[in-house]
A and B are shown apart, each in its own frame.
Chain A
Amino acid sequence: MPSPSPLSADDLATALTAGGSGWLVFSLAAILPILWAFAMIMHFARPYILRFLGTLTLRFGGDVWWLSYVLMRDALLTITLALSVIFLMPNLYIGLGLPLTAPLAAVVLLWAMVVKLIGDADDDRRTFQIVSVLLVISSVLYIVPQIYGLESHDQVDALKGIGLDWVPGALTAVGSDGTVNVLAWPILITSMVLFGLTGAALFVRFVMGLGRQSEAGVEANA
């Protein structure tokens, strides 16, 4: 059997660039469940954090503890959302075959952050519950297809024995045979529209509230 011919300089550059970008995206996709888990742990650690806060004897210590917690919790959610935007990019989502419901996870995460922004999830019990439910839905929409879809492609033969060999293909945008999942494009387009509409609504709300906020602030200070 003849050995494969070496690539030309241009082809090698293209192959390294394409391979490198694919490797980076797959690495981000693999790291995101970890980021999700970290963000969820921080969000749901709230009772523990508050319990410890009650044991601190100085307001300074309490402020340092609470500030560190809120900063880390919110930064993790923001980073997760920022990285999830890659799932709204057709070349990456369809082209590389990323987790099927990952774009929807990005949208629901955005909704959770919008609720945090316009409500008070720290003081209002109802808002906290809404944010929590949205975060759970979003994390499940991402973590399940990532682990049992993208990270299970090599298990198709093993899963065939129990009749579940269709699961990895059904949970990714591109199946094991290279065909695009019939749900991939509808999910991607719906997610892009919802993401755009949510962002636009948030922007309009902010612009409309600019004057009112400053007037309310002046009245409150007077």
Chain B
Amino acid sequence: MTPDQVSGLFDAGESFIEGTIAAALVALWLLTVALYLARPYMAANVGKFSLRLGADLWWIIYVALRDILLIQVFLGSFIFFYPDVVGGRDLPITGGLAAVCAFSVLLIKLVTKGDADLRWYRIQVLLLGLGATLYIVPYLLGVQVTQIGTDTSNQLAAFFVSSQNPNLALPLCYLSGAVVGLLALVAVIYNLRQGGAPKIGEES
């Protein structure tokens, strides 16, 4: 091996990890949306338990799984805030905006009554649908057609793949980072004003 090959070996390792995260995010987005849509089924099952303990555990597991998956979607999407990664790897061009959608849902969960507030719950579901679309469409029609070689696939890849369209991908990367930063600031201020506890009367 030459020194360049050793360096190339580790670059390939990094590229493999980032590519795997991007692929796994498709499944994570689908699972998250699926768990949201499964809410009526989960709620219907709660009424079938003969023990309150079973019902509580069923509901806790559902809510915990759903929320943890949403957090994992956002955390996995963190690579879309790294300018070098966005500019250098084949990633879906609107992955950063999808991460903003996921983070917005987390913020809505924090500052509203969550599932109990139907209006905000609808907005959560709409944001999740938008986020999944912004991620999955450019992934399937862009990242996954780079090796097809036809004119149409090349045109799709030239628009939807971040490394092939850096003039749009990098501004979106900076914009997404800034929006997430602002939303995080709102979450921090909300917590500091509440002292880490929900408003009185919000528990039920």
A201 CB within 8 Å of chain B? no
Contacts of A50 in B (CB 8 A): 197-198, 203
Contacts of A186 in B (CB 8 A): none
Complex CA gap A129/B81 in Å reads 28
- A6-B1 in contact (CB<8A): yes
- A61-B187 in contact (CB<8A): no
Q: Number of B residues whose C-beta is below 8 Å from A?
A: 53
- A16-B6 in contact (CB<8A): yes
- B57-A64 in contact (CB<8A): yes
Instruction: Give me the interface of A with B, judged by CB distance under 8 Å.
Output: 3-7, 12, 15-16, 19-20, 22-23, 26-27, 30, 33-34, 37-38, 40-41, 44-48, 50-58, 60-61, 64-65, 68, 121-122, 125, 128-129, 132-133, 136, 147-148, 151-155, 158
- Expressed in whole angstroms, the minimum distance between the Cβ of A48 and any Cβ of chain B is 5
- A44-B87 in contact (CB<8A): no
Contacts of A15 in B (CB 8 A): 1, 3, 6
Contacts of A47 in B (CB 8 A): 110, 190-191, 194, 196-198
Complex CA gap A61/B57 in Å reads 6
Complex CA gap A30/B83 in Å reads 12
Complex CA gap A195/B53 in Å reads 46
Indicate which residue in B52, B88, B106 contacts A41 across the interface (CB closer than 8 Å). B106
Contacts of A27 in B (CB 8 A): 14, 17
Q: 0/1 per residue, B9-22, Cβ < 8 Å to A?
A: 11001100100000
- B84-A125 in contact (CB<8A): no
Complex CA gap A132/B81 in Å reads 23
Beyond A20-B10, A125-B197, list 13 extra A-B contacts (CB 8 Å). Answer: A34-B78, A47-B198, A48-B114, A50-B197, A51-B114, A56-B56, A58-B53, A61-B57, A64-B57, A122-B196, A152-B82, A154-B88, A155-B87
Indicate which residue in B83, B109, B194 contacts A152 across the interface (CB closer than 8 Å). B83
B43 CB within 8 Å of chain A? no
- Expressed in whole angstroms, the minimum distance between the Cβ of A8 and any Cβ of chain B is 11
- A44-B188 in contact (CB<8A): yes
Complex CA gap A45/B63 in Å reads 14
Indicate which residue in B84, B187, B195, B198 contacts A128 across the interface (CB closer than 8 Å). B195
Complex CA gap A17/B84 in Å reads 25
Q: Which residue of chain A has its CB nearest to the CB of B4?
A: A4
Contacts of A7 in B (CB 8 A): 1-3, 6
B85 CB within 8 Å of chain A? yes
- A4-B2 in contact (CB<8A): yes
Interface centre among B7, B17, B184 (most CB of A within 10 A): B184
Q: Which residue of chain A has its CB nearest to the CB of B10?
A: A23
Q: Which residue of chain B has its CB nearest to the CB of A54?
A: B203
B60 CB within 8 Å of chain A? yes
Contacts of A30 in B (CB 8 A): 82
- A61-B53 in contact (CB<8A): yes
Top 7 nearest A-B pairs by Cβ distance?
A: A54-B203, A61-B56, A125-B195, A151-B82, A128-B196, A4-B2, A47-B198
Known: A15-B3, A60-B53, A61-B53. A55 touches B203 (CB 8 A): yes
- A152-B84 in contact (CB<8A): yes
Q: Which residue of chain B has its CB nearest to the CB of A124?
A: B195
Known: A15-B3, A47-B197, A51-B202. A132 touches B84 (CB 8 A): no
